[in-house]
Amino acid sequence: MSWHVDEGLLDAYQQGRLDPSRVMAVDAHLQACPSCRIAVPVDAAWLDRSWTAVLDRIQSPAPGPVERIAERAGLPGHRLRLLAATPALRWSWLAATVAVLTFGVVAAYAGNARTALTWFLIVAPVLPVLAVATAYGPPFDPMHEIAAVTPAAGPALVLWRATAVVGVSMALGTVAAVLLPGPGWYAVAWLLPAFLLSISALALATVMPLPLAAGLLAATWVLATGGLSVSGGALPPPVFGPGAQSGYLLAAAGAAAVLTRRRRRLDPGESR
């Protein structure tokens, strides 16, 4: 190399007093000249921190508006990203849920409103349970192998995803219920049964796989309430009356206590 950075130029370079073109020239020279490069004092710890900050900023995706709102509400961003990959929160599942609820509302106006309302009350509580059953593990989640190796995998992720899908399912069902004709009380009469079935499925999943627990409870609910509807001509009010609602609430509290105590034994039904 025929020339080197003199002391004055090097001092101006370190203090940031050079114009961009001269900075680029000095940078190019320092990359090719070990003797001049050694003359530049370097804080290795500061350099490592700077590169780490740069890489974190480049590699981390910019949070969207929903993620920013969730973080302000106290929900960590990494949790939200895990929930975003929940199979039961994808457009196909949401579209299917909306289609089922829309069919119920349209049938209520087009045909026998009492019969349609009866079957809506029977079917609506089952939708969140089915969403819980498909929120984690194969064959429902194509990204399960990747999610399974994260620190949040297993019971913790199952509970986070179950909470998300139950909330979304019940919100969609509430909108549909408000649009139904008939007594206003029945528009919310299915909420506690839905919550009970969902929390009971998670509690029962501490002794059997989650999909099996959810399917068993959903089938029991449909057969029991559907049988009462067929035998009585319409769903008997006691099934969704104030007394039954109190029973659903107490049972849900009991299921929540069981789930809290045995949550580490939660079996999402994944292959071993």
pLDDT per residue as tens digits for the range 55-110: 766 666 666 665 666 667 666 666 666 665 566 556 556 666 777 677 667 766 76
pLDDT at 198 over 80: yes
Distance CA 190, CA 218 (A): 14
Whole-number average pLDDT of the chain: 75
pLDDT at 6 over 90: no
Cβ pair 198, 159 in contact under 8 A: no
Q: How far apart, in Å, are the Cα atoms of 242 and each of 22, 186, 208, 226, 238?
A: 81, 11, 32, 20, 8
Q: Which of 148-152, 180-184, 251-255 has the highest mean pLDDT?
A: 251-255
pLDDT at 229 over 70: no
Note the pLDDT of residue 9: 84
Long-range CB contacts (within 8 A, 24+) of 146-154: 147/82, 147/85, 148/270, 150/82, 152/78, 152/79, 152/82, 154/266, 154/268
Cβ pair 99, 172 in contact under 8 A: no
